[in-house]
Amino acid sequence: MLLRGDLYKSMLYAIWCRTSGGSVPLISNKYWSAAMKEAGFDSMTIMQDHYLINRREDFDRYFYDFVPAWLPWLVRRGLGACLALAFVLRRCRVLHMSFQGFALDNTCFWRLESAMLKLAGVKVVAMPFGGDAYKYSEVIDT
């Protein structure tokens, strides 16, 4: 029997954040993952891409890492997203992501992602950023 602490000690940590303009691999994800590792958890960041202001080494894996390098770039990105999702469905117990989704958000199958995560038993922690969050103390009450 797994105790609650044991469940989270063996979790895989994957984050991918995006906006409508494309992926947003926030550098804070690197620090979240490092904090999880420091606390004794298995942790991994999986991103679609990275900004030029970041280094490739800032994140553990990218969608295109799941696909052979000899395939064309667009095929690697599309197929890589599907394979990254399959990887998470098979190996992940807890997935940290934004409200915008993980891998299927730019496809016609985006509505299926949450159902697949639920069927696989993956717990989702939605972490807001940017437009996902608002301080309710700033709302003007009229």
User: Lowest-confidence range among 49-58, 109-118, 133-142?
Assistant: 133-142
The C-alpha angle with vertex 95 and arms to 110 and 48, in degrees rounded to 5, equals 60
- Pairing assessment for the beta strands 46-47 and 61-62 based on DSSP bridges: parallel
66 confidence band (pLDDT: 50, 70, 90) = very high
Question: Tell me, what's the pLDDT at 72?
Answer: 92
How many Cβ atoms from other residues are within 10 Å of residue 118's Cβ? 11
> Hunting for tokens 């989702």 — which residue is that?
124
Is 89:118 a contact under the CB 8 Å cutoff? no
Residue type, 63: F
Query: In 3-state terms, what secondary structure has residue 124?
Result: strand
Helices (H) and strands (E) in the chain, counts: 4, 6
Question: Tell me, what's the pLDDT at 24?
Answer: 55
Is 58:44 a contact under the CB 8 Å cutoff? no
Instruction: State phi, psi for 83 to the nearest 5 degrees.
Output: -70, -35
DSSP 120: T
pLDDT reading at 62 higher than 60: yes
118 confidence band (pLDDT: 50, 70, 90) = very high
